[in-house]
A and B are shown apart, each in its own frame.
Chain A
Amino acid sequence: MSEELSASDVVVLPGLEAVRRNPWMYIGSVGEDGPRRLLREAIDNSLDEALAGACTRVSVRLDGERAAVEDDGRGIPTEIHPESGVSACEVVLTRLHAGTKFERAPGRWRAGLHGVGLSCVNALSRELRVEIFRGGQAFAQDYARGRPLGALARVGATARRGTTVSFRPDPEIFRDFRGFDAAAAREALAELALLLPGVEFSLEAGGAREIFSGAEGLEGLLARASAGERALTDSPVRVSLGGGELALEARLSWTTGRDFAAKSFVNCVPTPLGGTHLAALRAGAARAVNEMMAETGAAAPGEESFGVDEAADGLRAALDLRLARPHFEGQTKSRLTSADAFAPIAAAVREQTLAYFRADPAAASVVAARVRAARRERLAVGRALERVYFLRARTGIDERVYKEQFGARSRNWHDSAKWITDRELLDAHAAMCEMPAGARALDVCCGSGVVGAAFRGRVASVQGLDLTPEMIALARTRLDEVRQGNVYDLPFPDASFDLVCTREVLHLLPGPERPVAEIFRVLKPGGQFIVGQILPYSADDAPWMFRVFKKKQPLIFNMFQEEDFRRLLTGAGFRPPAARELRVWESIDVWIDSYETTPLHRREIRRLYREAPAEARAVHPFEIAADGTIRDLWRWVVFSARKPG
């Protein structure tokens, strides 16, 4: 049974002025994630009541730029705060670090931002109204940009209990805010319902009211973590750990998916960047897999043990951790850093996963086969990386490396990055065409043929050339004719084409001078070469971008900058090129979800974005959303170079 809150339960730490001055320090972003963060803080305030067992209902109303969060908890204390001389409610709404969560009562889990939450919402709202129903009385108070417009006033008698906070984010802070995103709120409330099945979560938006069912519990969260993938076993591993200051419920399932993914929460707050709890879960699962494989004979005696990446490849997890004193990286709590949580979680996951395998030999056998497949893939990628260093600019390239990699990627080529089919980008290449309608064009390293196909209607025919049989099959559906061949030695006579196009290829080729010379050779005098390339914004972001791109794609040999690329073209005999620059947002999460990028490299790429150096950030725009997803505004330059007539 929850205890009643009183004004003396509210502890005050000073200072709120800094929030409006540096809002991103408190809520992470003043972009589209900012108002979402405010809504989440208001919800977390109610969650604290739910986690304390003091409320049964949390409802959210969205109405354009306004949001309201209502609960039936104990109500924020309304009495005069003994140290401040104003109501405890006003203290909670106007002072940073004011809140009952600093009480640290053992066994209590708290969701809000260590008391920063509601005061941040208030500081960053153009207007905010709090209504409190407590002790048979209703109270209300209004604020504007964090300042009270009057004292907390008693407005009548009531049988209700709880708190309603309604607010409108300040357009002076959130300049691009045009209204709350119901989809994001729906996602958050649906997940909370699964974490707290005893509490009713609802959303009113666009004239409709939805109540979210928590009946599936953690299994429902696991289904969300593995959406679109097939579970390899009939039932998930269930892990439970109860204790004074740490409680854990987790579900684990090996799937047909790639890499490791999880829905993880600490005190019901999502931790999209993971941290200690997920590291422990992966480590515990890996230990259980290794022990199972040794016990069942699935691993040969003396065989190298399976690493975390191998054991957790395809593993999906839902994890609900309650911690009395969690420590996080950053104010928005997206990554748990509590080192003490590692050992108990790893031990519980190891022990209970091993018990699961022992009780279900069929499941153990399927997981053993999955883990072995992950090892085979890792070894194949390793071999490709080794072979890269046998390539020599002067002696040509090892075609097998490219065929293996692009053959594998052809299975989902168009879904493997946004840029591949981006219409504006394709049109930008085609728009550079200066050739007459009767011209013959060649798309070199054509992939699926989308670039060449963009020139249809501008030239008479488009031929394609690629090394990879799987890509050639795709390109044949778009181009007039497609041949297999190597760009270092084009299988065409001199002066065969009026136009040659290619895109995002030359950086993958050692000694790019030779393929450019080949392109020059097969062009007719006066012919045109159109080539698109992602380039750094300047020398200042280039080393950082080099690391990101090289980790994504080990076949990168050249991090061109604009002057290098111009020199490459003029060095082959082309006239100084014209260029058009355009910027295209790319989903980094989609882009790095590919065969050639190892799980370690995916993790390192995400870290490179989180810790990008100031000199790169100053010139290169990218965004990291509250859920950890990353998008990058890539700088594309499309060059057009003419062969002298």
Chain B
Amino acid sequence: MTANHPIELVCPAGSLPALKTAVDAGADCVYVGFKNATNARNFTGLNFTDASMREGIRYAHDRSRKVLLALNTYPQAGNWPEWTKTIDTAADMGVDAVILADPGLMRYANRTHPALRLHLSVQGSATSYEAINFYHEHFGVQRAVLPRVLSLPQVEHVIKKTPVEIEVFGFGGLCVMVEGRCSLSAYATGESPNCNGACSPGKHVRWEQTAKGMETRLNGILIDRFSDDERAGYPTLCKGRFAVGDDTYYAIEEPTSLNTLELLPDLARAGVRAIKIEGRQRSPAYVQQVTRVWRAAIDRLKTDGDRFAVQPEWMTALNNVSEGQSHTLGAYYRPWK
């Protein structure tokens, strides 16, 4: 447990109140996005205007915390200027880093704002040190967020082989697919995480009470059907129940959250530099709850070292805000695969 660097806690904020809550609850960094398709949580009613971004950055910097800007979708020829303008704005406002996925944008950022710190987004799908080192050598990327696909020993191996700081997901909604390599939403709705910053977007969702139960549809496709004693979940298309062969089940993934709290000492030992909490689309109350628990756990790890133990009340608090009120270690735990 003698990591050379303290682990940074990186928390989500989909609004100014969420940002302030995250800072007050102990986040080291808050990651945010503007109100447009330049980031992977382009949801109605979410994200920052120029004015709220300035205020958020001031609030965080006054308290010596960092603000990271997610600019992690892939622009196309027709909308390219919106992305580069957003980088310019972010640099002018003094964000502490931009989180990018697109190599063309990285080159733009590197050339236009050489002092701007670059993080590789999880949407960049870099799952090996060779991939991560490409971004480092060509664009000076200083930190990479790993897709949720590697087991713990694999994460450790990557860290040994790259000079780039590694950030991993610690808690929140679980993408079962390799981020940046999923066109399921585009196939079903025409809107993709890669290009539109949206997965299973709300405007394509329909809830319908039928004789067979509550049905949830995405662009007309039946994602799930719930009986009266079940809690109907949002129709994220990889978390529905489908028929394969003679079985109807969660064929891809259950509605569950990633929770790696119990792995915290292992992640620290492996040399992970930052833990990311998912959920810019969630409420300030979620942000507060999750940030408080992880702040307490990271602080406890510093004092307790090898005697670190997960407190039952931490798990209770996290389970209360988990999708489906359950959690998984995801790919960190090999049998999940």
Are these two chains actual partners, yes or no?
A: no
